């Protein structure tokens, strides 16, 4: 029972947090008033952290569905892509990072 509550909380927090990752990470970087290079590194790290959180939540969901092997891999990959609304973290600054 406790595991289900934790999984539900992680899934809900991840879906809202991950879907706004680009805007949230960029807003945080802007608030910090970083240089362009530092801002790009911060955004990339922030988005990577969001993706890692989404991966953990999606993996838990796959375990709940009792998926194994390639089915689990496909599910997690699609789930993370949907949760982050991107295939790869966005780097607005070409040539950096």
> pLDDT value at position 56?
96
Do 86 and 50 contact (CB within 8 A), yes or no? no
- Check whether 32 has a pLDDT greater than 70: yes
- How far is 57 from 37, CA to CA, in rounded Å? 31
- How far is 26 from 91, CA to CA, in rounded Å? 10
Going by pLDDT thresholds of 50, 70 and 90, the confidence category of residue 84 is: confident
Q: Calculate mean pLDDT across residues 7-29.
A: 60
* Residue spans per domain, the chain: 2-84
Residue with tokens 């999984």: 7
Residue with tokens 């953990």: 56
> pLDDT value at position 36?
92
26-47 as b/e: b if 16+ CB within 10 A:
beebeeeeeeeeebbbbbbebb
């Amino acid at each position: 029972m406790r595991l289900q509550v934790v999984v539900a909380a992680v899934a809900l927090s991840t879906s809202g947090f991950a879907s706004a990752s680009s805007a949230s990470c960029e807003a945080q970087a802007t608030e910090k008033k970083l240089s362009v290079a530092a801002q790009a590194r911060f955004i990339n790290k922030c988005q990577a952290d969001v993706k890692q959180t989404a991966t953990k939540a999606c993996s838990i969901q796959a375990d709940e569905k009792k998926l194994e092997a390639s089915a689990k891999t496909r599910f997690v990959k699609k789930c993370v892509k949907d949760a982050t609304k991107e295939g790869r973290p966005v780097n607005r600054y070409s040539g950096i990072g």
